[in-house]
Amino acid sequence: MEKMEQASQPETWFDGNKVNDVLFCEDFLAGHPMKCIHGTFFDVNGAIGDAEQIKAEIYYKIAPYVTSGIAKKATTLLDALRIRCYSPPIPYQTDRIHVANGTYFLSGDFSSQKEFCMNRLPVRYAPDAPEPSQWLSFVGQLLEPEDIITLQEFMGYMLQPTTKGQKMMIVIGKGGEGKSRIGRVLRALLGDSMNTGSIQKVEVDRFARADLEWKLLMLDDDMKLEALPQTNNIKSIVTLEDKTDLERKGRQSEQGYLCVRFICFGNGNLGSLYDRSYGFFRRQIVLTVKERKPDRKYDPFLGEKLIAEAEGIFLWCLEGLHRLIDNGYSFTISKRAEDNLTKAMQDGNNIIVFMQSEGYIRLEKGTHATSKQLYGAYGQWCEDNLEKPLGERSFSNFLRQNEDKYKLTYTNNIALGNGKTARGFKGIHVKMRTGERH
């Protein structure tokens, strides 16, 4: 009925024969203010992820006037809209958080006014929201108290479009503890500003980074234990503070900003085939969950109960964010979490454990050993401990990168006798026990 009335009073963009693209776009945007950034439409509520939704609106708007080729015309008008409302990227605003009912300023002020933004969260800011008792009980069963503080800060960190914290979070458990429920809460807080996917894909798929543009979080709910073949992309994204190259299928690559953070849930540490550097691990916060108590009952409705407390959980996250900012974006890391990271480093690089071993080497001023001698001792340690040795180059590179830590000095002047010299290190010597090969 509405369409018939519309047809009896033609729109200004229809001259009785055809649709005027320019006038149509002006009329459409008057009722649907939008910006198009890197091919994605945005309105005051953030990214409009599905362009097909806009295309459908165009279709029904022109249906009373266009009698043939309507789908093609709708596509043409959608492309015209992209050009008409083109905009450069909107600068990220780190002094405020765009929420469902307005804008929360980190100064503590709140305004019901909405403005164009890259991310508007689906949760409301309600300063009088009740304490999220279900959530607090849940995280209390999941994590130790000192690690709950870290989770609170990281969840607050994800509300703000910045990478100043320069960390990703990995939550490890045996399974069945309920850590995946955190993902459901994060979706309620972040909505379409959160992606779910695979951390491995981000590293190896050259198109994956573009999917993270405008996103505040990428959640890997079931992290694979396969070692990453490389770590360049992940390390770069975690600490990125400038534009990076974003490549999409069938399109010219573009320079864009990423402010996405990573949370991964899994049964083990995130490892790398080749990168044993401290730089890879220092970007990680590793939390381990408590084992599930045998008498703990499974609640199939817990997810819904937690989501119902979203407004209170949001205030809890804001508390963590303010504490993080006050600490200069330095996370509160417990001794337990520090030990978790040390173990992750040791699991990914057994040279670290070898350097702490006894009976094979000694760190001592005034001594020296060739790289070959040291690698031989390392090989013996690996054989004795059923460890797979890393390559000779990886071994030598590790020692050179950690000279300060172990108080070593690299040199190519270790005397072998008969006028020969070899590469090696000062401040360490090989100490082989009785019965060991030399």
pLDDT digits (tens, 9 = 90+) for 307-364: 999 999 999 999 999 999 999 999 999 999 999 998 888 888 899 999 999 999 999 9
The label of the residue with tokens 């993902």 reads 183
Note whether 357 and 402 are within 8 A (CB).
no
- Amino acid in the structure at residue 81: L
Distance, CA of 231 to CA of 279 (rounded, Å): 10
Summarised one tens digit per residue, pLDDT across range 127-153 is 999 999 999 999 999 999 999 999 999
Summarised one tens digit per residue, pLDDT across range 294-323 is 777 778 889 999 999 999 999 999 999 999
User: Taking each helix axis from N to C terminus, what angle separates 335-348 and 145-157, rounded to the nearest 10 degrees?
Assistant: 80
Distance, CA of 13 to CA of 23 (rounded, Å): 5
Instruction: Provide the token pair at 172.
Output: 């490890």
pLDDT at 385: 95
Residues 6+ positions from 72 with CB-CB distance below 8 Å: none
pLDDT bin (cut points 50, 70, 90) of residue 100 is very high
Summarised one tens digit per residue, pLDDT across range 374-400 is 999 999 999 999 999 989 998 999 999
**How far from the centroid of its chain's Cα atoms is residue 262's Cα?**
2
pLDDT at 5 over 50: no
Burial of 434: CB neighbours in 10 Å, binned 0-12, 13-18, 19+: exposed
Domains defined along the chain, listed by start: 2-84 (no CATH), 133-345 (3.40.50.300), 349-430 (1.10.10)
pLDDT at 4 over 70: no
* Mean pLDDT computed over every residue of the chain: 90
